[in-house]
Every structure is written in structure tokens, then in C-alpha cells.
Amino acid sequence: MFTHTLPLSQFVPTGAQEVQKLAQGTSDFISHFAKKGGPDPSDYPILNTLLQQFSAENIQKIFSDEHLNMIRNAFGEALSPETIQGWAYHKPLGYAGDFQIIEKIYNYHTSSNPHLAKWDQYFHTQKAPQAVRNRLSFFLDQLWKIKAETPSTSHILNLASGPGRDMYEALKVMGTSKLEIDCVDQDAQAINYAKGLCRDFLAHIQFTHKNVFRFIPTKTYHLIWSAGLFDYFNDNVFKRTLERFHALLKPNGKMVIGNFTVDNPSRGYMELFKWNLFHRSKKHLYRLAQECGFTENQIRIEQEPEGVNLFLVVTKI
């Protein structure tokens, strides 16, 4: 059994030699797991403790880019796009959180390479991907509520619709009766994938290939859903986008915005691979909504079962 001292838990370095020693120790620690073909379940607690400390704040305080590159290089092939963590780091489609990685998360994708499969298995045990998968049932619940509250056809807007998995799973359960969904995504590949996945429901789904900031709607909606877009926005962009799309709601319509919490235990792991989000607390989300002029009875904060993915729900009165 590997008994190397857990590097980052020991001390905060005060000089260049200590930083170098800490970076080397961390690199050796990760290299051990890479050489043995990935972590086993018994390794998860100690590896979690290490990776949780790689949030942007700690990284910026301790390590230079050179040190970080050394640590990342210790993963070897386990940081190639063949693994989910490597896909997150290399961003083959040019942006973080692309439709393919989200679909890999939804489907518990595991590399066919036996030397890399353990890394994907480890990835799927993290709280963040579990929270992403929980979006599916959360979205289904939102559709049931809107459909129950709407006597006629319910009109839904799905911002940054990605692979369309949330729609597919929801419509499989509830059908398309009295539901019309408009989807907006900037990635044409994502739209094509979603069309294929949702091919049985396309009579009730309209796709628009646009950046959400350039999208010009021609109707209003009972529900505007955005699971994974707003936590890439700083506060100013968040508020401008909330105000713009809230205006497109019908009376008593709801806008539901997903955002990862500041207490996300997977944050350091994600940020080591440059999957950076604007994490926000419940109070922060509530304050942003208030700064947009919404009153207390219009604002609600919900969450999925892990408590990692928060949802700001704003109702139009």
C-alpha cells in the first residue's frame, strides 16, 4: 500500500524551495496512481482529500504555472482526452462543459482502455457529476409542475440545451402532449446530436443554432430552463441575462437557473483541469435576483439531492 505523506495537507510553503518540494511531492503522489493504472476505491478518500485542495484560490497562492504543469503531467495518459478528466482539460470542442462531456457524465461513460477505465470510474464517484445527473429528474419535476399549472399547451425554452438528454428522458416518461420546447445552443454539433437523440419527439421540439445573447425569441414562455449556462457568467452578465429572459415569461411563468454551490466538494478536482465555474451560495443567488428588482415572493432557491447544484427559481408576477 502506498504510504506517501499527503502533500498539500502538511503545510503552506513559505519559500521557493518549499514550494518546489510540495509540487514534487504532489506530482509523485499522483504519479503513483497513474503508474498502477488508476485509483482503486480504497484510494478514493485520500485522493479526494488531495484534489479538493486544488481550488483556484489555493492554486494561485501556492503554485506557478510551471509547478501545475508538472503536477498535471504526472497523470500521464490519464490526462488524455480518452478519460473524462482529460477531456475536461483539453476541451476538444473548444469550450468547457461541452455536450459530449455532459453526455459522458449522464451515461457513466468509461474508457475502453483498461489502463484508463479506473480514472473514469473514480470521476463518476465525484459529487459534481452526480449532481449533473440529478438534473434529469429535477427537469422532469419542473415539466410536471408547469404542465399541471397550464390549462393549454406549455411553452418551454431550454437555454444551452446541449445533448438534449434532459428533454429525452423527460419526454420518454411524460410524453409530448401539450408541450412545446424551444432549444437554443451555440454548438451545431450539440444540436445535431440532440436531434438524433430526441428524434421521436421532434414534432414538439424546435432547435435554434445561436449564442443565447443573439437569440431573438418570437413568443413568451411558461418555463425557461437553464441547467448549466449561468455558472459560466460573472455577476454582471448573470444579471443582464436573467433580466432579459425573465421578460420573456408569461404571467406566473418561471425561470429556473442552475448554478454550482461554493461548497462543491469536486471544485478543486475540476479546477486542476481548468474546468472553472462561478460557484455561488444560496445567499449570493438570492442577492443577484434582488439586485435585478425581484421581490422576496418571486425568488426561491432549490437544489438537487446532493446539494451541489443549486437552482434559482424566479417567478413572473
Is the domain 129-315 a CATH 3.30.1360.40 member? no
Residue 155, SS3 per DSSP: strand
Residue type, 68: L
The confidence band for 8, taking pLDDT boundaries of 50, 70 and 90, is: low
CA atoms within 13 A on the CB side of 282: 8
Closest CA to 232 of 265, 289, 279, 194: 279
Query: Is pLDDT at 9 greater than 70 in this prediction?
Result: no
pLDDT digits (tens, 9 = 90+) for 221-246: 999 999 999 999 999 999 999 999 99
pLDDT of residue 169: 97
pTM score of the predicted model: 0.92
d(CA 288, CA 304): 20
List, as one string, the DSSP characters of 198-238: TGGGGGGEEEEES-TTT---SS-EEEEEESSSGGGS-HHHH
The secondary element (H helix, E strand) that includes residue 258 is strand 249-260
pLDDT of residue 1: 41
The confidence band for 65, taking pLDDT boundaries of 50, 70 and 90, is: confident
Q: Would you say 231 and 237 are in contact if contact means Cβ atoms under 8 Å apart? A: no
Phi-psi region of 67 (alpha: psi -120 to 50; beta: other; left: phi over 0): alpha
pLDDT of residue 19: 80
Closest CA to 313 of 281, 279, 285: 285
The confidence band for 2, taking pLDDT boundaries of 50, 70 and 90, is: very low
The secondary element (H helix, E strand) that includes residue 51 is helix 44-52
Looking at per-residue pLDDT, the higher value among 110 and 19 belongs to 110
Domain positions in the chain are 7-126, 129-315
Q: Is 100 exposed, middle or buried (CB count within 10 Å of its CB: 0-12, 13-18, 19+)?
A: buried
pLDDT digits (tens, 9 = 90+) for 92-133: 999 999 999 999 999 999 999 999 999 999 999 999 999 999
